[in-house]
Chains A and B, each alone.
Chain A
Amino acid sequence: MKMQRALTRWLLALGALHGTVVCAGFFAPYDPAVQDRMYPYLPPMRVHLVDTQGHLHARPFVYQPKLRVGSFDQYEEDITDPRPVKFLPSGDYYRLLGFLSCRRHLFGAKNARIYLLGTDAYGRDQLSRLLFGGQVSLVAGLLGAGITLLIGMCIGAVAGYFGGWRDGLLMRLSELFMALPWLYLLFAIRAFLPLAVSPLKAFFLIIAVIGTVGWARPARLVRGVVLSAKERDFVRAARGFGATNGYLLRRHILPETSSVLLTQAAILIPQYVLAEMTLSFLGLGVPEPVPSWGNLLSSLQQYSVLISHWWMYLPAVAIVPFFLGYLGLASSLHERGAAYKIESRILGNLT
């Protein structure tokens, strides 16, 4: 019961986080590619309720930033120029959930642009980029993990169920794949592609590559489960009644692998998000100006950015709750799987 509650909690937390990213267009105040060339590397703006004279305002406001005198990159608040925050204003065009045309955003500022998480080198809103970047990174993780698990399940089931030379061949192949230095493989694949790859193509390419490379580990796990499941009494009984291989696999054996697969999914998704980030960080992922968590972080490769603009680290901070959520989910899934196994074993003995 306690376990069930923990699981629900993790799922709810992850649901909320993903929901925010999925509805990035609404929560983000601006289009992530729009450059505000007057304010490169603007630090996060402060939202005020009390002005410099000590008056309390009903509506929160920000001060318009201005360059400090004699500086090219240091800003200060222009306290003579307050701009009220507006809620649900109409702004940049976006598509909610990929198809609903919208212009309504959660917040904005009147006659000004508001940068709650600061801006990057081109004056693009870091918050909007963070949210939209999450879409790219998370979808890459989810789809990649999906592909991996599908391939892993098929190969593992075939190897475990049929055994013999098929098992030997597939398992040697899986060892080969586990030994592959996948990062360098990706470099190599990217080098063979045409010069200019559109963001969408690059995106699917990454998913395809990280999805197909990692199947070995889940396949071996599935194989183990299948090996033990195919010797179970109820499987033998079904076979005795004349069930075909396909039916046995579908109906009796693969359902046994579900808890392994779910746990694997919860572990693989953050791993693959990280893989996408690594690639984009190294400039092999989705190209500019499309944001992803990896290419948001890539500006940190420069020493000057590293030590001067702390808000450029925020994408790295943002991934922490996601990873925590997934790992928490994985561990509760694992516990539940173990409990289920014990339960079924006890029940099995009783009957």
Chain B
Amino acid sequence: MKKPTANFKPCWIFSTLLLSAFTFIGRRAIASPPEKTTEKEELLVLPGEVGQRGERLVVSLRGEPKTLNPLISVDTPSREVIGTMQADLVHINRATQLTEPALAKSWKISPDGLRYTLVLRRGLKFSDGYPMDADDVLFTFRLYLDEKVHAPQRDLLIFDGKPISLQKVDSHTIVFQLPKPYGVMERMFDGWAILPRHLLEKPYEEGKIAQVGALTTPPNHWAGLGPFRLKEYVAGQRLVLERNPYYWKTDAKGNRLPYLDELVFLFVPSADAQVLRFQSGETGVISRLGAENFSVLSRDQKDYAMVDAGPGLEYNFLFFNLNDLGEKAPPEMIQKQKWFRDLKFRQAVSSAVDREAIVRLVYQGRGAALWGLVTPGNRRWADEKLPHSPRSLEKARELLKEAGFSWGVPGNGDSWLQDSDGKPVEFSIIAQSSSSERSKMAALIQDDLKQLGMRVQVVPLESRSLLDRVTQTKQYDACVLGAASYDADPNSDINVWLSSGGLHLWNPSQARPATPWEAEIDRLINEQMYASTFEQRKKLYDRAQEVLAENQPMIFLVSPNILAGAKNTIGNFHPAVLEPYVFWNVEQLYLKNGTENATR
């Protein structure tokens, strides 16, 4: 399953809005934390540059987070904030893209691959000082698995309709029992925030769990295991987090992390306004930057440095409406789908698209042309054997000719493409009006296809109505869209791959695969999910990528680079290509010398 990314955010926002509208929290006096724990702490020592304590870092956030509650968060700003306040059992290192111990100091897999035994660190405490143990883990997963909680990630814990089960061995050992062997379970632990039982048990029993964790929650009613904890929230303006004094990591010299005293998120809704704030020095770090803004900022780098972290995991693509529209489809749509379903037509379009021009004109060279779903940024999983056929209009014309298309010449020398019934090839491409990049891609494709004699119109649409057309009403011809895998592992894109998946965009949520090659992909993806070694999985996944590339239901375009910037005074700034691009090592970020105050 794939977590909804920024691109698919709109369909989720609404529900979270409603939920967070109820900001009630069980009114209980929070007793001061028990001080009895004298257990020796098993802290995680992080390698890397040793920094200095103190100061505060101000950053801008694209929108106001809807919630601090990991059980119901789906929007990008919420996830970004929660990422700095919560911790998981096993963590994927965003730089190496490999798993490493987090709250669990070690784990063991039984030979049959069904039992995962995790051993927790000793002396862990929540940010309010309460000790954390196996009961919190059991409680947390009970919540995630509870259907009534509606956790968006719940599907990931269900295998063939059966949920995983947990057993407590002792206060620091937990066994996860899987219904089916699953090759990468330890990777799956990433992102499951372990929640405080002492705060959430009562609301859960009262059925009010979805209302917990609103931004208006008093700071002493909310706790996590991440490097920062809630301090202050000013609606519409900012969210202030402070250092969690009980955090379980230290630097190489044994200083407890995080270095920063405070982390301030300003709510700055537009990308351009974020650039201005960063330029004026109001914010210290900027990420999720477009190439044009990046080059604007790169032009006078005095107080700050810009970093191009290379191609990320975002992939942009063009796809045609291949849904089975049934009897009700209007005749012109049936005609159009006749072309779209023709593999040669799709191959011709793919062959005519000038990907290099998109990289140059849309991303100013800061991106990579793409021929498959797995981007070059995903070093372990990208299929190197995938053919990178260069742009060729001759080949495209050849393919169209073979598929029975021909060219009519009306008057002025421009020739228009027509199908075997003599109908001119005309269709529209919808693109998100909010994304200038994707609108530009669509305009370039329009011009590319004009050279094949296709009459294409680009229709900019607001994101939500675009998604509505693609996933609900299915009234569109073709669409340019992008998505970002949240993890390098193939399973993060499973909803795109499987014909039953909701993000199998060209024909989503099929009852059974519509074509033999979709069935083949389903088989390969399911097999790789349960295969035990990397080599086996890689082989199956490569094959799936090849089948996808042969059939071109998605015509892949480009993968933009991950672009970010930070003030020169910020140490340990190493943007990664995985989300959260710059805050994956937020506990290690620090301000040098302490001479500069990052805020006003």
* Inter-subunit contact B364/A72 (CB<8 Å): yes
Q: How far is the CA of A37 from the CA of B293 in the complex (A)?
A: 20
Shortest Cβ distance from B479 into chain A, in angstroms? 11
Q: Using Cβ atoms and an 8 Å threshold, which residues of chain B touch A195?
A: 428, 430, 459, 469, 475-476
Segment from A281-289, A314-322, A335-343 that makes contact with B: A281-289
Q: Using Cβ atoms and an 8 Å threshold, which residues of chain B touch A165?
A: none
> Given contacts A37-B360, A72-B360, A93-B412, are A302 and B475 in contact (CB under 8 A)?
no
In the assembled complex, 18 residue pairs joining A and B whose CB atoms fall closer than 8 Å, in A order, are: A37-B354, A37-B361, A40-B361, A72-B364, A93-B412, A122-B443, A122-B447, A123-B361, A196-B427, A287-B457, A287-B459, A288-B458, A289-B446, A289-B447, A302-B272, A303-B296, A304-B292, A304-B293
Q: Is A254 an interface residue (CB 8 A)?
A: no
* Inter-subunit contact B457/A196 (CB<8 Å): yes
Leading 7 A-B pairs by shortest Cβ distance: A303-B272, A196-B428, A304-B292, A72-B364, A72-B365, A196-B457, A37-B357
Q: How far is the CA of A243 from the CA of B356 in the complex (A)?
A: 75
* Inter-subunit contact A289/B296 (CB<8 Å): no
Q: How far is the CA of A273 from the CA of B154 in the complex (A)?
A: 55
Chain A residues touching B, range: 20 to 34
Q: Using Cβ atoms and an 8 Å threshold, which residues of chain B touch A37?
A: 354, 357, 360-361, 444
Q: Is B275 an interface residue (CB 8 A)?
A: yes
Q: Using Cβ atoms and an 8 Å threshold, which residues of chain A touch B15?
A: none
Q: Is B125 an interface residue (CB 8 A)?
A: no
The interface residues of chain A, by DSSP majority, are classed as loop
* Inter-subunit contact B293/A303 (CB<8 Å): yes
Name B350-385 residues within 8 Å CB distance of A: 354, 357, 360-361, 364-366
| Contacts beyond the supplied A37-B357, A195-B475: 18 A-B pairs with Cβ under 8 Å | A35-B444, A72-B295, A72-B364, A73-B295, A121-B361, A122-B444, A195-B430, A196-B427, A196-B477, A283-B433, A288-B446, A302-B292, A303-B271, A303-B275, A304-B290, A308-B292, A308-B295, A308-B299
Q: Using Cβ atoms and an 8 Å threshold, which residues of chain A touch B427?
A: 196
Contact with A along B261-284 (1 / 0, CB 8 A): 000000000011001100000000
Total residues of chain B contacting the partner, CB 8 A: 37
Q: How far is the CA of A35 from the CA of B362 in the complex (A)?
A: 13
- Please report B residues at the A interface, Cβ cutoff 8 Å: 271-272, 275-276, 290, 292-293, 295-296, 299, 354, 357, 360-361, 364-366, 412-413, 427-428, 430, 433, 436, 440, 443-444, 446-447, 457-460, 469, 475-477
Q: Using Cβ atoms and an 8 Å threshold, which residues of chain A touch B460?
A: 283
Q: Is A101 an interface residue (CB 8 A)?
A: yes
Name A271-325 residues within 8 Å CB distance of B: 283, 287-289, 302-305, 307-308
Shortest Cβ distance from A195 into chain B, in angstroms? 6
Contact with B along A181-218 (1 / 0, CB 8 A): 00000000000000111100000000000000000000
Shortest Cβ distance from A16 into chain B, in angstroms? 29
Q: Is A33 an interface residue (CB 8 A)?
A: yes
Q: Using Cβ atoms and an 8 Å threshold, which residues of chain A touch B366?
A: 72
Q: Using Cβ atoms and an 8 Å threshold, which residues of chain B touch A308?
A: 292, 295-296, 299
Q: How far is the CA of A101 from the CA of B460 in the complex (A)?
A: 33
Q: Please, which residue of chain A has its CB at the minimum distance from the CB of B443?
A: A288
Q: Please, which residue of chain B has its CB at the minimum distance from the CB of A35?
A: B447
Q: Please, which residue of chain B has its CB at the minimum distance from the CB of A196?
A: B428
Shortest Cβ distance from B560 into chain A, in angstroms? 13
Shortest Cβ distance from A125 into chain B, in angstroms? 14
Q: Using Cβ atoms and an 8 Å threshold, which residues of chain B touch A35?
A: 444, 447
